[in-house]
Structure 1
Amino acid sequence: MSQAAKEKKQVIVDDITKKIQDAVSVVVVDYRGLTVEQVTELRKQLRDNGVEIRVLKNTMLRRAAEAAGLGTMEDVFKGPTAVAFSNEDVVAPAKIIAEFAKDAEALEIKGGVIEGTVASVEKINALAKLPNREGLLSMLLSVLQAPVRNTALAIKAVAEKKEEEAA
């Protein structure tokens, strides 16, 4: 292999390494058996949620994972491999892919990386069951509003009782 080819491949490995390190979650899937329409639809759904998906060579992925400090992830990088990278939402790639896999049985989650830690298929599937970022923020807001809401209801009840007693 020529030096130029090696350098070109090293640039790609460095790019993948940076993507893995910058991503809050990475989901690795086997897309064998999906139709072109299904792959296009999956890409569209992921892109609409700020997730990048790429089909990459396993040897480059192994090298990038090792350079990122994750080991070679030999068991994950086998067969046709597509990788979804999310820099914003930890849950989005897992949720979208798991939901898509319900209709497209050929799509198989092989593993991934969650906030810099290698994750098994089980962890990715558990992550997919969590609400997305907006859902979690909504839950947090609801919890924060509860004491104020309860206080307001108590004050209203006391005021109504005083009105009834005065009448």
Structure 2
Amino acid sequence: MARPEKEAVVKELTDKFSSAKSIVITDYLGLNVAEMTELRRQLREAGVEFKVVKNTLATIAANQIEMEAMTEFFSGPTAIAFGEEDPVSPAKILVDFAKDHDVIEIKAGLLNGEIITKEKVQSLAKIPSREVLLAQAFANMKAPLTGLVNVLQGNIRGLVQVLGQIKDQKA
């Protein structure tokens, strides 16, 4: 790779490290082409970019944004998933994929500029999606209103039953 191409890759990685909401660093050694294609497809559908990177270029990019602690994870075959929109998607997809494919190993992650361990990446993957969390919040807000409606209907229902009984007695 020529020097201008390397500089372009470093600049791209620096931009992605700075702008991504979450990053998951993985070791992909042992995945065949079909498995790698399937992983890329799943990540792409979720709006996650997945790049195989050279460790030296990733180290230079991490040093440029003053994230030297991240450089310890750039050894061996390294691929990085960048979550631009949803910070949970890269972790969720990679952890699920790693369950089925033992060869892929999650090394670490970056969430909102902070380095997180492999264990924290796995716990991040257990968080429900944004849509599920919104639905749960809406259901929790709706529950008291539903209860109030049922209580009010109970009084009306009781009044109708009493009036029905009075009607039956008079008939």
TM-score, normalisation: structure 1: 0.91
Matched, 1:50 2:47: yes
Whether 1:123 aligns to 2:120 is yes
Partner letter of residue 115 of structure 2? V
- Alpha-carbon distance in 2 for matches of 1:121, 1:60: 22
Matching of residue 149 in structure 1 with residue 140 in structure 2:
no
In percent, how many aligned pairs have the same letter?
A: 40
Please point out which of 4, 16, 27 is paired with 2:24. Answer: 27
Q: Over aligned residue pairs, what C-alpha RMSD do you find?
A: 1.6
- 1:81–1:155 distance in 2 versus 1, CA, 3 Å: same
Moved over 6 A (4+): none
Q: Structure 2: where are the runs of 5+ without partners?
A: 165-171
Alpha-carbon offset, residue 152 of structure 1: 1.7
Unaligned runs of 5+ in 1: none
Q: Give, in whole Å, the separation in 2 of the partners of 1:10 and 1:82.
A: 18
Higher radius of gyration, 1 or 2:
2
* 2:31 aligned with 1:37: no
SS at structure 2 position matched to 1:32: coil
After superposition, what is the alpha-carbon deviation per residue over 1:36-91, rounded to whole angstroms, capped at 9, x for unaligned? 11101000000011101000111111122222232242321111011001111111
- Distance between the aligned counterparts of 2:140 and 2:93, measured in 1? 27
Which residue pairs with 2:158 in the alignment? 161
What is the CA distance between 1:16 and its match in structure 2? 0.7
- Counting helix residues as a fraction of each chain, which structure ranks higher? 2
Q: Which residue of 1 aligns with 2:101?
A: 104
In structure 1, the partner of 2:88 is 91
Q: Encode CA deviations 1:124-155: one digit per residue, 9 max, x unaligned.
A: 00001111121111112212222222222222
Is 2:58 aligned against 1:61?
Answer: yes
Counterparts of 1:109 and 1:11, CA distance in 2: 26
With structure 2 as the length reference, what TM-score do the two structures score?
0.89
What's the secondary structure of 2:72's corresponding residue? coil
**In 2, Cα distance between equivalents of 1:163 and 1:76:** 72
Matches of 1:68 and 1:136 in 2, distance apart?
33
